[in-house]
Amino acid sequence: MGAVMAEFQKFLNDLPSDATVRDAALAALASRATALADVLVPAAEEAEADVEHVHRLRVSSRRTAAVLRVFAGMWPQKRVGKLRRAVTKIRQAAGDARDLDVLCAELSERRAPLTLAKLRAKRAALQPKLQKLAKRYDGGEGITTLADSLAEKLRKEQRVAELDVKLVEWAPKRLARMAKPFLKATPSSDDPMTAWHEYRILGKRVRYAIELLAPGLPESVRTEVYPQFERLQELLGGINDLASAGEHLLALKRRKDEALCREIEVISEVFRSRLEIECERFREWLASDAPAKLRGALVGKPLAA
């Protein structure tokens, strides 16, 4: 791996207008696997200097998983399973670490020394797992090797007819199919936060699918629909961060340390107030015309090129 990371492109901008599904799958796999491999060592070895390395690792692992999901049914099953398992392990490890990074950063701005010390220790205990994964996958080379092997098989694959369909014909239908679970899961303002969380996860999947399918979609999907998903993720991401923080604090509060518990109770009250504010912002979004606009943009003619 080179010392300088390749510039990452969120959308697959370099595909020709006559690209096939096979072309898109290969380009997407190369882009996302390279980005994931590039950030594995920095996240494992330099996270203390810059926590954003772990953030980028989690996002890169999600985007790599999205490639396997969006083009599901295209990949040779024996090869894709190895890469999927690797990506899942990295995503889970990076996710656990990132949640605590966010919480520690929040508490570093508050007078909560006992709580912060406990959480920093908990976070430090997670770093060896990232280091082991970096070693297991040879500093990222193991990821690119798995991706290259999968790509080699896909280039020769002749049994899947959809691979040679033009992307502009296939992408709108694929996005519409992926959008169905998201639209079906649209929650109400009274639904529990578990329903909101599921909506967030499904929305993230559609967002990443748009990134990969953009060359085969109308420009309006990228310029008008995609920003709506960014806004939705911003709203629900804030709720998720605060809910996750509450879970970590509750786990610490179970310890028999009165001073720690008092400190946590003060912090928890602040977080509960902020959580209610964030929930109200999302309820306002649900009550607006935003969900209907999103549904209209994802169903039927708007997706047709």
Provide the whole-model pTM: 0.92
Please report the pLDDT score of residue 254 as a whole number: 82
Q: What are the mean pLDDT values of the chain's consecutive 10-residue runs (305 residues total)?
A: 59 90 97 97 95 97 97 89 96 97 91 93 97 97 97 92 95 95 96 96 97 94 94 96 93 87 93 96 96 86 51
| pLDDT score of 102 | 94
The pLDDT score that the predictor gives to residue 201 is 97
Nearest to 7 by CA among 29, 26, 35, 33: 35
- Indicate the class that CATH gives domain 19-162: mainly alpha
Our measurement of the distance from residue 197's CA atom to the centroid of its chain's CA atoms, rounded to an integer in Å, reads 13
- Show the tokens assigned to 160: 């899947």
Q: Indicate the domain borders of the chain.
A: 19-162, 166-305
Looking at residue 5, its pLDDT comes to 53
- Residue 79's pLDDT is 83
